[in-house]
């Protein structure tokens, strides 16, 4: 049978335990496995290589993204780093010019030292992407929506541009989750997640994932996963599986709340600009409507008072916790320039110091609006 993604979130990869009938996948808290004979085992020999709880999570994520294969890692950055190990010295990577600060740091401050060339372009413009392709381009890297400016790139338009050059297209789908966007169905070769965020959903576990269809590339990434060893433990995998079960409901509530809050902010006299894909003022609003199944739970905004006003608001909210990260059930607020995106300072990707980013949780929308309204009185 073919199931909807909401059903897959509850059931994919999570068969009852054959030994006990346990409905939830057990936490296989073991480092090694008894072998029947020398080099003869039941599919598991050492938990860096494979673990049954991890296998269940990988199966679930592949199903959610509509992919054939998935691999999970100890963090989203470990997942990105492993994909980039497919790129060789002398190759070129074309990246969006609005990406998570940790991604830019890995590209510009680490991997560039190993002979990989990186350039950054506005990927909301497919023509600009095509113009920036080079003969040695091996990977086009998108975030959509981007972090923190929430720009939307047309995956279906960019995929053939990358493929015509013989390059892969990788899409960081962290902000949308597979409930709102499935890049593999639009032509992407890799989908990458920080599962710490919406997939885990409870701010209690760090992880990452790569999902893909190409079996030969999967085998190489699987080799790298084992060789490098940046894998999650079984408890991390269990917590992420637990989070996935409510992913559909949570994403509905995140989007429902965020739209109301974005509308409130857009009407507030202290707010100069609201950036949210669910508002028709967003530059890629029509694309978001076509490509995504919902606008998501992330909002960025700028106040008339600039950085001073932004800091005042961030310091005085009560329900919105001043903290990095995003995608949990609780609402968070931060200033990207000195926090999550400090690593892009003094670069072409530098963030407006007055930009405020909020991760809207699943609390009651009116309570969250009241919290922001109170904080805005301090501006």
Q: Which of 28, 81, 98, 100 is catalytic?
A: 100
Helix, strand, coil fractions of the chain, as percent rounded to 5: 40, 15, 45
Kindly state the DSSP code that residue 15 receives in the 8-state scheme. Answer: P
Q: Which of 197, 250, 311, 357 is catalytic?
A: 197
Beta bridge partners of 71: 210
Give the count of beta carbons closer than 10 Å to the beta carbon of residue 50: 19
Alpha-carbon distance 379 to 128, whole Å?
Answer: 39
**Could you confirm whether 172 is annotated as catalytic?**
yes
H or E, element range at 208: strand 208-212
- Interhelix angle 234-244/52-65, rounded to 10 degrees, is 30
Alpha-carbon distance 144 to 69, whole Å?
Answer: 21
Spatial contact of 365 and 256, defined as CB atoms under 8 Å apart: yes
**Could you confirm whether 100 is annotated as catalytic?**
yes
Alpha-carbon distance 229 to 90, whole Å?
Answer: 26
The candidate with the shortest Cα–Cα distance to 235, out of 19, 25, 15, is 25
Helix (H, G, I), strand (E, B) or coil at 203: coil
Give the count of beta carbons closer than 10 Å to the beta carbon of residue 226: 14
Q: Which of 50, 98, 154, 172 is catalytic?
A: 172
Spatial contact of 311 and 335, defined as CB atoms under 8 Å apart: yes
Q: Which of 48, 85, 242, 245 is catalytic?
A: 48
Distance of CA 233 to the CA centre of its chain: 20
Helix (H, G, I), strand (E, B) or coil at 322: strand
Largest CA distance in the chain: 73
The set of catalytic residues is 48, 100, 172, 197
């Amino acid at each position: 049978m073919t199931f909807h993604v909401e059903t897959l979130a509850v059931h994919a990869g999570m068969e009852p335990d054959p030994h006990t009938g346990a409905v939830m996948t057990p936490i296989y808290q073991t480092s090694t496995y008894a072998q029947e004979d020398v080099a003869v085992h039941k599919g598991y020999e050492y938990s860096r290589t494979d673990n049954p709880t991890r296998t269940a999570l990988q199966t679930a994520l592949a199903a959610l993204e509509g992919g054939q294969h998935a691999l999970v890692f100890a963090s989203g950055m470990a997942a990105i780093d492993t994909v980039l190990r497919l790129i060789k010295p002398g190759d070129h990577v074309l990246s969006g010019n609005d990406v998570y600060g940790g991604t830019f740091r890995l590209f510009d401050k680490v991997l560039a030292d190993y002979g990989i060339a990186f350039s950054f372009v506005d990927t909301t413009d497919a023509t600009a992407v095509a113009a920036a392709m080079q003969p040695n381009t091996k990977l086009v890297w998108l975030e959509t929506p981007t972090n923190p400016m929430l720009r939307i790139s047309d995956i279906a338009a960019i995929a053939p541009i990358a493929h015509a050059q013989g390059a892969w297209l990788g899409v960081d789908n962290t902000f949308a989750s597979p409930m709102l966007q499935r890049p593999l169905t639009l032509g992407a070769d890799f989908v990458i997640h920080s599962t710490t965020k919406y997939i885990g959903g409870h701010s209690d576990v760090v992880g990452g994932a790569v999902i893909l269809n190409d079996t030969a590339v999967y085998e190489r990434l699987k080799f790298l996963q084992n060789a490098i060893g940046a894998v999650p433990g079984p408890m991390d995998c269990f917590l992420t599986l637990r989070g996935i079960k409510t992913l559909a409901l949570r994403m509905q509530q995140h989007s429902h709340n965020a739209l109301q809050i974005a509308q409130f902010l857009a009407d507030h006299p202290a707010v100069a600009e609201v950036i949210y894909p669910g508002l028709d003022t967003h530059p890629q609003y029509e694309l978001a409507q076509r490509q995504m199944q919902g606008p998501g739970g992330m909002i960025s905004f700028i106040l008339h008072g600039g950085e001073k006003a932004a800091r005042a608001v961030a310091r005085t909210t009560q329900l919105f916790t001043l903290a990095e990260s995003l995608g949990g059930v609780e609402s968070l607020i931060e200033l990207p320039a000195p926090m999550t995106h400090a690593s892009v300072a003094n670069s072409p990707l530098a963030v407006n110091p007055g930009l405020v980013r909020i991760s809207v949780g699943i609390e009651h929308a009116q309570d969250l609006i009241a919290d922001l309204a109170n904080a805005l009185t301090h501006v």
